[in-house]
Amino acid sequence: MPRDLVDVVHRRLLDERPVERQLSTTVAELVRAAAPLLDASALDAVVRDVTARTVGLGPLDPLLADPAVTEVMVNGPGSVWIERDGRIERVAVTLDRCTIEHLVERVVGPLGLRADRSSPLVDARLPDGSRVNAVMPPLAVDGPYLTIRRFAVRTVALDDVCPPGVAAVLAGAVAAKMNIVVSGGTGAGKTTLLNALASCIPPSERVVTVEDAAELSLPGEHVVRLEARTANAEGAGAVTVRDLVRNALRMRPDRIVVGEVRGGEALDMLQAMNTGHEGSLSTCHANSPADALRRLETMVLVGDVALPLDAVRDQLVAAVDLVVQIARGADGARRVVDVAEVVGGPERARSLLTDGGCSPWTRRSRG
């Protein structure tokens, strides 16, 4: 009965459309009208559920309120999964298809987006900065899929993710305005490490951040944040990361921080690093520093500018100073596992942790 009652009251509430400050009172009145014999505790529970369904994400709200939860995964009707402290687990929350579709609409509707058979892939952002990805049928075989990556509000110091002595090396590299790429797999902690590195930037410098979905929370006093925009329901109005990187160059930045390079913006980022915007930071998905360099090469080559491979490699070596590799261990902890200097020739990336090499805070000459 309580579940049916929540559905009934929610439908009536949508018809009445009360202002938010009157919501609880209106919900309580509707519950009393629909179930006059309900006791006080049950009444409060129904009011709470209806209110959460109306203004929040309903049964997912308690999970999103837990600071230890970094990811919420809905794999169609049934159980909900979360990542907590680096480990994936099933929670005692089940959702039906109708509820999932309603949650997706709650997220994408206010943004002018839609999620249906004609537009089955949607990326969006919650007001707190959390990233949302929705996949709808027919692409989602078992029903609507919803993945929410929590916005990381916890500040992590470099010492928390680095082996002994490495934090000082990286802090020195940032202070020396070396260009750094953070590399790692999905969920390895790249954005968290990027935030920690950016905390070493002098507060007086003007920093422009460019992200597909705004996640960075830089502590500086002069930070300008740019976020890409997807196309609206009519397929117009898209602004890409590449557009924003090009625009950032016109905003008089001391440093440019690109949350993640995934495509043609890699060329613009390398050109920025090579044309006076030293000390820039970015991330990419890769399993090792050498793989990160190969990925950057590939992203430049598949862009809309035809360049020979040798020219791309020369520009890459001249632009990027260090690649910092971060990984998530079996215990869920994220740690820096390698710091590599970018060099020419077949060696490509030389580990400063195992191979020695030049002092990482001594910048290379750019000719």
206 contact partners, CB below 8 Å, separation of at least 6: 222, 224, 251, 252, 253, 254, 255
Angle 221-196-154 from CA coordinates, rounded to 5°: 90
Asked if 102 and 74 touch (Cβ cutoff 8 Å), the reply is no
User: pTM for the whole thing?
Assistant: 0.73
What is the C-alpha to C-alpha distance for residues 285 and 182, in angstroms, rounded to an integer? Answer: 9
Q: Domain residue spans in the chain?
A: 2-55, 59-149, 158-351
148 contact partners, CB below 8 Å, separation of at least 6: 60, 64, 71, 72, 73, 126, 130, 131, 132
Domains 59-149 and 158-351 share a fold: no
**Chain position carrying tokens 């390079």:** 261
Q: Count the helix, strand and coil residues of the chain and give each as a percent rounded to the nearest 5.
A: 35, 25, 40
- The tens place of each residue's pLDDT in the chain, 367 residues long, gives 455 676 666 666 555 544 444 777 787 888 888 888 888 888 888 877 777 666 678 788 888 888 889 899 999 999 999 998 778 999 988 888 988 998 888 888 777 778 888 889 988 888 777 888 999 999 999 989 999 988 765 678 898 889 888 999 999 999 999 999 999 998 888 988 998 999 899 988 999 999 887 778 787 788 999 988 877 667 677 888 889 988 998 999 999 999 888 888 888 888 888 877 889 999 999 999 999 999 999 999 887 777 888 888 888 989 999 999 999 888 778 899 999 999 876 667 788 877 544 444 444 444 4
Asked if 141 and 120 touch (Cβ cutoff 8 Å), the reply is no
Fold classification of 59-149 (topology level): Beta-Lactamase (3.30.450)
What is the C-alpha to C-alpha distance for residues 21 and 9, in angstroms, rounded to an integer? Answer: 18
**DSSP secondary structure letters along 11-58:** HHHHHH---GGGHHHHHHHHHHHH-TT--HHHHHHHHHHHHHHHHS-G
Superfamily of domain 158-351: P-loop containing nucleotide triphosphate hydrolases (3.40.50.300)
Of 240, 244, 237, 259, the residue nearest 113 (C-alpha): 237
